[in-house]
Amino acid sequence: MKKGIVLVLIFAIAFTACKDEKKADNPDPEIVVVDENVSEKKYEVVESSFDKMQIIFDDGFTLLEGVTIDEIGVLKTGENSYKVAYFLDDNSDFEKIEELNIALRIYPKNPELFKNKADQDAKARTIASASDIKIMDKIKTIMSEEFSVLPKEFQQVKVYFYTPKDGVVGQMMTILNVQFP
């Protein structure tokens, strides 16, 4: 019986000592200390192409709540080959963006220059991309895959986010009178 009481006392003292050590680390147990940098996702850093781009939009536009595109640039990668860069606002909801795809729908002044008959008939072509965020010049950016297109003058260009299941998500932005380099 005495052994039982002694063991209980030893256990109680050890438990109290451990509890006091925890209090020393965080004097107010109601306050939880969180390191904000731990949960931030790390994005791949890519080589800057900003100085080689033609900016076709720089007014900032909120496509859906919590998602703003600050600028859009076109990078010439070959004779008739391009990439499109969508520069995102720092306060955008990047988790939401990564769940979506982004599209650039181009409406050329001369659709007969399209190589594809379906594009000629539609008088438009869509360049779709996964919203894979990268860092370029310290700016979170979505960069399209390289694509080829012969018409270089467009009456309008539309930009929007979408999902294959739901179609367009949020608003669609229209940019008038665009010319690729």
| pLDDT tier at 16, thresholds 50, 70, 90 | low
Instruction: Judge if 93 and 10 occupy the same domain.
Output: no
Residue 39 lies in a domain: no
Residue 155 lies in a domain: yes
Closest by CA position to 134, among listed 48, 39, 53: 48
User: Residue 21 pLDDT more than 60?
Assistant: no
Residue 123 lies in a domain: yes
For the beta sheet containing 101-108, the strands, ordered from the edge strand earlier in sequence to the opposite edge, are: 125-130, 101-108, 153-163, 167-179
Q: Give the C-alpha separation, 51 to 57, whole Å.
A: 15
Residue 38 lies in a domain: no
| pLDDT tier at 148, thresholds 50, 70, 90 | very high
* Number of structural domains in the chain: 2
**Residue 138 phi/psi, 5° resolution?**
65, 15
Residue 40 lies in a domain: no
Residue 54, beta-bridge partner list: 74
What percent helix, strand, coil does the chain show, rounded to 5? 25, 45, 35
Q: Which residues contact 56 (CB under 8 A, 6 or more apart)?
A: 72, 73, 74, 157, 175, 178
Q: Give the residue-averaged pLDDT of 161-181.
A: 97
pLDDT > 90 fraction of the chain, expressed in percent and rounded: 72
Instruction: Judge if 67 and 94 occupy the same domain.
Output: yes
Residue 102 lies in a domain: yes
Instruction: Judge if 29 and 92 occupy the same domain.
Output: no
**Hey, what amino acid is at 22?**
K
Specify the CATH number for the domain of residue 54.
2.60.40
Q: Give the C-alpha separation, 114 to 104, whole Å.
A: 16
Instruction: Judge if 125 and 82 occupy the same domain.
Output: yes
User: Residue 34 pLDDT more than 50?
Assistant: no
pLDDT score for 37: 45
Q: Give the C-alpha separation, 172 to 181, whole Å.
A: 24
Instruction: Judge if 67 and 11 occupy the same domain.
Output: no
Q: Give the residue-averaged pLDDT of 99-115.
A: 97
Instruction: Judge if 15 and 78 occupy the same domain.
Output: no
Residue 60 lies in a domain: yes
| pLDDT tier at 40, thresholds 50, 70, 90 | low
- Whose tokens are 């640039």? That residue is 73
Residue 109 lies in a domain: yes
pLDDT score for 124: 98
Task: Extract the tokens encoding 123.
Answer: 């008088």
The more confidently predicted of residues 125 and 49 is 125
Closest by CA position to 150, among listed 92, 106, 104, 93: 106
pLDDT score for 122: 97
User: Residue 172 pLDDT more than 80?
Assistant: yes
The more confidently predicted of residues 36 and 61 is 61
Q: Give the C-alpha separation, 72 to 150, whole Å.
A: 20
The more confidently predicted of residues 40 and 129 is 129
List alpha helices for 66-181, DSSP H.
Answer: 94-98, 117-122
Instruction: Judge if 67 and 148 occupy the same domain.
Output: yes
Instruction: Judge if 53 and 108 occupy the same domain.
Output: yes
The more confidently predicted of residues 58 and 40 is 58
Instruction: Judge if 12 and 66 occupy the same domain.
Output: no
Q: Which domain holds residue 165?
A: 46-179
User: Residue 68 pLDDT more than 80?
Assistant: yes
- Mean pLDDT score of the chain, rounded to an integer? 85
pLDDT score for 157: 98
